[in-house]
Structure 1
Amino acid sequence: MSSVHSNVVLQALSIFTGSTVKSLTADTTDGKELNVFNFLPTTFARTQAVDEVDSLQASCPNLFVDINKFLDPRFDYDFTHLTDNSTCMRGNEPYTRPCGWTRTAVKVLDKYPDGNAWLGTDGWRSNSVAGEWPVSYHGTSMNSAKAIIVSHYIPGRGEVYGRGIYSTFDIKEATKYSHTVTCEKTRKKYNVLLQNRINPKMRTVCARSDYWMIKIPAGTPSDKEREIVEKSIRPYGILFKEV
């Protein structure tokens, strides 16, 4: 596992889902298991006010996760001491690596029916590859970002940009909406973010050009919302930065 302690990961998952996330054990009987697929709609329902998504948190305050199934240490990466913030390309969009952060990888390889092309190829490269999706970052309170977009960039009473999931390719902007967790063992504090890939066919560029949105129209059935989320935006890493 990465240099980030497991209790910090559990705290981050708790913040993202709005539930108390604990390690899954053989004695677990009073909650649901958190996995890659229910993590997505639960997280985005909570932080983006997607009203009708049937989030786990609404019916189950306790979630349990098998860290070995949820995380993939093979793809962890420590950007802590990286100072080269030169721009690369991912999905034909600029990608600035998260210098100063540590990425704990989520186990997404071979999890989706459309294959792994959306992830691109592993290892250092400056260019995009075929089928790859762009990178975006998601803060744990980006519903506040939505309010900023609506109130400052869309004129007229009652005119809003839209209902859906907001994220940004600008990690500095996303950091404004990150929360802080504290390691119980070392007492170190970390900001946390999600690092995602976003489907270029599903996103819309917002009135503020540094934000992307996945549209989810009001009245969309909960099963359809989950389908839209899965096809549109996929977290593949949890980022931690010591503060």
Structure 2
Amino acid sequence: PEPDQFLDNDWDEKNDGSLELTKKAHIQVKAYYDNFPSIDDVTNDTRQEVKQAKAFTDSILQNLPSGNVTERATACHVLKNLLEAQNIQCLFYDSKHGKDLRDSSGILAEIDSKERPFVLKLNNCKGLGGSMGPKTEHGALRLSRILLDALEKNESHPVIEDVRKRLSEAHRTNKENISVKSIYVGSFNVAYTVKDWTPDAVESLPELEKNLKDKFEQFVAAKIHPLLCRPAFDISFFDKQGNKTFSDSYETHQVGPPGKTQTYISPAGWTRYGLKVLDKYSNGNNWLHPFQDPRNWYRAFHGTGHASADDFNKSKQSFDQQYASVDALGSIYKTGFRSARVAAFGAGVYCSPDPKFPEKGYVGVVQCDTQQGKKKFKCMLQVAVNPDGVRIATDKEIWVVPNPEDIRPYGILIKEA
């Protein structure tokens, strides 16, 4: 690693790259992790708004829905059953009436992912790995790049190793079980996963927060991935502005930055419940709105099934290590060339720009009791994908997004199976 005194040198665009793009990348990552709830949010069930949300959830789910996909109650039951299939319990609340919890709709594309990180926020990194830490914004950006480069190359770095050691002690686990996934500025933030941590361990979170404060003098806050606990969804997240029943005819539009556009195909025959995502992210709304703004992200569709080791013709051990976060859409291909696809693109969230593609047996099917008897509903997510954060296959039917901050759900698509 570079000595501390060199970190705060003036930024050199020739050697350090674009300062604007570097800042943009950190803002992007921060916008994603800022939506995680704090440990206190998760563990404090005595708060009045949590009690109200529990009662509100019961009031929605205790009655059978009509079974009409255009009615909100049906959509709530479908979402609840979709999450229950993953052993995830959820809460609903209504922010329009002052009951404001932290909405978790932004992570719906990660239902199948095992990559569910914690986030540790520190004032700075002083003392970690013997470092005095940077004193300027340029220094913080430069250090984070050094650390991220070490992570990408799987190389050791004193700061990272010290962080992992302290985290392992706070979690009371072996250091080998701690994996640092990302480091970003806005103070000093570390996103990390803990091997084999399950929602059953949620009762230990208050002790974990105390341990983190003991191990890190610069402690500010600790956050947790919503799917590691009990995600909450704003019932008003079914944003009327984004709700739509699509006609049976497919429409196509070009979306994305000039010279790099991709074709958006409307999901004919589906009903979309628009998620309340405008003003949700700190870097503005142009990624989604207005439609066909040159800063729009690409549009795609994400299935809600599971990938398995067999889908990739891999042993269970190999699959867990290499493909733990690969979505079921990757399993559409025949075994003979699935492996090539996965090897070419690596782990990530898989999606398709063609709404017909995931329907070939790989869209999640949810069964619900309704006033019309048992019904089955197909369900997939409409997502926006960062043009700078997606890898596209040569046949263009399947995309992979390596980093979760580069894919944002903005609608739940439902239709009868």
TM-score (norm 2): 0.44
Cα drift, residue 169 of structure 1: 0.6
Distance in 1, matches of 2:244 and 2:284, equals 22
- What is the 5 A alignment of 1:108-119? 108-119=277-288
Distance in 1, matches of 2:244 and 2:338, equals 38
More strand by share: 1
1:129 is matched with 293
Report the CA distance shift for 1:13/1:236 in structure 2 as closer, same or farther (over 3 A).
Answer: farther
1:6 is matched with 73
Gaps of 5+ in 1: 26-32, 123-127, 216-227
Which string of whole-angstrom CA distances, capped at 9 and with x for unpartnered residues, describes residues 212-241 of structure 1? 1112xxxxxxxxxxxx422x0100000011
Q: Considering only CA atoms, is the larger Rg found in Structure 1 or Structure 2?
A: 2
2:127 is matched with none
Cα drift, residue 153 of structure 1: 2.3
Match of 1:50 among 86, 106, 115: 115
Equivalent pair of 1:167/1:212 in contact (CA under 8 Å)? yes
Equivalent pair of 1:136/1:167 in contact (CA under 8 Å)? yes
Equivalent pair of 2:352/2:358 in contact (CA under 8 Å)? yes
1:177 is matched with 362
Gaps of 5+ in 2: 1-68, 95-100, 118-191, 200-227, 308-327
Cα drift, residue 155 of structure 1: 6.2
1:195 is matched with 382
Cα drift, residue 54 of structure 1: 5.5
Distance in 1, matches of 2:416 and 2:229, equals 28
Higher relative contact order (CA 8 A, sep 6+): 1
Cα drift, residue 90 of structure 1: 2.0
1:105 is matched with 274
Which string of whole-angstrom CA distances, capped at 9 and with x for unpartnered residues, describes residues 99-128 of structure 1? 100000000001111111111325xxxxx3
197-206 vs 83-92, greater mean Cα deviation? 83-92
Q: Which amino acid aligns with 1:35?
A: D
Cα drift, residue 43 of structure 1: 4.4
SS in 2 for 1:118: coil
Distance in 2, matches of 1:142 and 1:173, equals 16
1:125 is matched with none
2:204 is matched with none
Distance in 2, matches of 1:155 and 1:174, equals 18
Q: Which amino acid aligns with 1:233?
A: I
- What is the 5 A alignment of 1:50-69? 50=115, 58-59=198-199, 62-68=230-236
Equivalent pair of 2:345/2:400 in contact (CA under 8 Å)? no
SS in 2 for 1:11: helix
Cα drift, residue 130 of structure 1: 1.2
Cα drift, residue 163 of structure 1: 1.1
Two-structure CA RMSD over aligned residues (Å) = 3.2
More helix by share: 2
Distance in 1, matches of 2:255 and 2:104, equals 22
The structure 1 segments of at least 4 consecutive aligned residues displaced by more than 6 Å after TM superposition are none
